[in-house]
Amino acid sequence: MKTSIKITLIIVLVFSTIVVKAQDPHFSQYYASPLLLNPALTAMHDGEFRVAANQKSQWKSISTPYTTSAVTFDLPVGRLGLGFLAINQHAGEVSYNNLNLLGSASYIVSFGKYGYGGLSFGLQAGIIHRSLNLNDAIFDDQFDGVGGVDPSGPSNDAVQMGSKTLPDANAGFLVFDGNPFARANVFAGGAIYHLIETDESFTNSSGFNLPKRIVAHAGVRLKVNKGLEITPMALFMTQRKAQEIALGLTTQFNLNAPGTSFLLGGNYRIDDASIIHAGLIIKDLAIGLSYDFNTSTLTPATNSRGGLEVSLTYTRKRTIDNPKFICPRL
């Protein structure tokens, strides 16, 4: 990469991580990281326990890749759901790192004539630890005005610290039709993230509080026949001035081999990316793969290339079947 371009990107990345009101890390396969999508999805599965891992790398074509990784664990204990999640984002030339560690819990209430309806409430609490390497940062007052730059020169920039730890808390709800005999199962939920708006800046000045993230999601699982299920779904997220609207469809083909399914589908994040995804379920293990094609204003720089994402989910099945509704996931 040319030096001038690299320097410009460093400035942009430093500015975005220190000053700009940033957006939380997220996945294209959001349904494969349920505890990140909504605390109320904690332990929403029919297994003894569930372990999930997600990895995404994006924007490799224009700078140091942005990588987002997550690991979650959850299990049902009666009407309670208990879990834990760790999310880490590493970004840019200044090694910006964002680590989120959270405990997660949910409680489910059944309703309806046969108790197939469900209403789940979820809470999460933990910390966010953010850091960056100031030795790799270049600020505007280190330019000499004639095209040169001295990274070791003094700077009057307001950055006073290279790391910061914040408390964090989230809450959400989910309502769903869990009738195992119905051809259509509707589900919808919402969540609020960062209920504690503490100062997130790397300076000693105030005024850059961690903004709340509001999430709404919904869908319906349609059982066409024994071998085919179709799930249209929608996601809306907003965080200060950042907004995401995603519309998608997942098709699940249940194969002749017991416990084996193939998934194929796509999502479109409006003014951001077109996404294709595929998955394979073999008994307790689900594998998902997706790719983003950039459609945002970054398209000229990225040549429409976005990010590759992989998900792995292991759900230890119960020895006795419990035919309740499961929210769609890879």
Q: Which residues contact 47 (CB under 8 A, 6 or more apart)?
A: 75, 284, 315, 316, 317, 318
For position 277, what pLDDT does the model report? 93
Residue-averaged pLDDT of the chain: 80
Asked whether the predicted pLDDT for residue 326 surpasses 60, the reply is no
Question: How does residue 94 score in pLDDT terms, banded at 50, 70 and 90?
Answer: low
pLDDT tens-digit series, residues 260-281: 999 999 999 988 889 999 999 9
- 6 vs 153, more confident: 153
Asked whether the predicted pLDDT for residue 15 surpasses 50, the reply is no
Asked whether the predicted pLDDT for residue 109 surpasses 50, the reply is yes
Which segments of 182-284 are extended strands (E)?
Answer: 184-193, 213-225, 228-239, 242-254, 260-269, 273-282
Asked whether the predicted pLDDT for residue 62 surpasses 80, the reply is no
Average pLDDT for residues 214-219, to the nearest whole number? 95
Q: How many CB atoms lie within 10 A of CB 235?
A: 20
Average pLDDT for residues 78-94, to the nearest whole number? 86
Average pLDDT for residues 231-254, to the nearest whole number? 92
Span of 7-21, 30-44, 72-86, 169-183 with lowest mean pLDDT = 7-21
DSSP 96-116: EEEEEEEEEEEEEEEESTTS-
Average pLDDT for residues 224-234, to the nearest whole number? 92
For position 252, what pLDDT does the model report? 93
8-state DSSP, 210: P
Asked whether the predicted pLDDT for residue 68 surpasses 70, the reply is yes
d(CA 238, CA 258): 41
Average pLDDT for residues 21-35, to the nearest whole number? 77
For position 138, what pLDDT does the model report? 62
Average pLDDT for residues 236-262, to the nearest whole number? 90
Asked whether the predicted pLDDT for residue 213 surpasses 70, the reply is yes
pLDDT tens-digit series, residues 289-310: 999 888 766 555 455 566 889 9
Asked whether the predicted pLDDT for residue 92 surpasses 70, the reply is no
For position 205, what pLDDT does the model report? 61
Question: How does residue 27 score in pLDDT terms, banded at 50, 70 and 90?
Answer: confident
pLDDT tens-digit series, residues 115-160: 888 999 999 999 999 887 766 666 665 555 555 555 555 555 555 5
Most confident of 4-8, 132-136, 160-164, 165-169: 165-169
Read off φ and ψ for residue 16, nearest 5 degrees. -70, -35
d(CA 55, CA 40): 22
For position 119, what pLDDT does the model report? 93
Tokens of 56: 């995404």
Average pLDDT for residues 216-228, to the nearest whole number? 92
Average pLDDT for residues 72-80, to the nearest whole number? 93
The pTM (predicted TM-score) of the whole model is 0.80
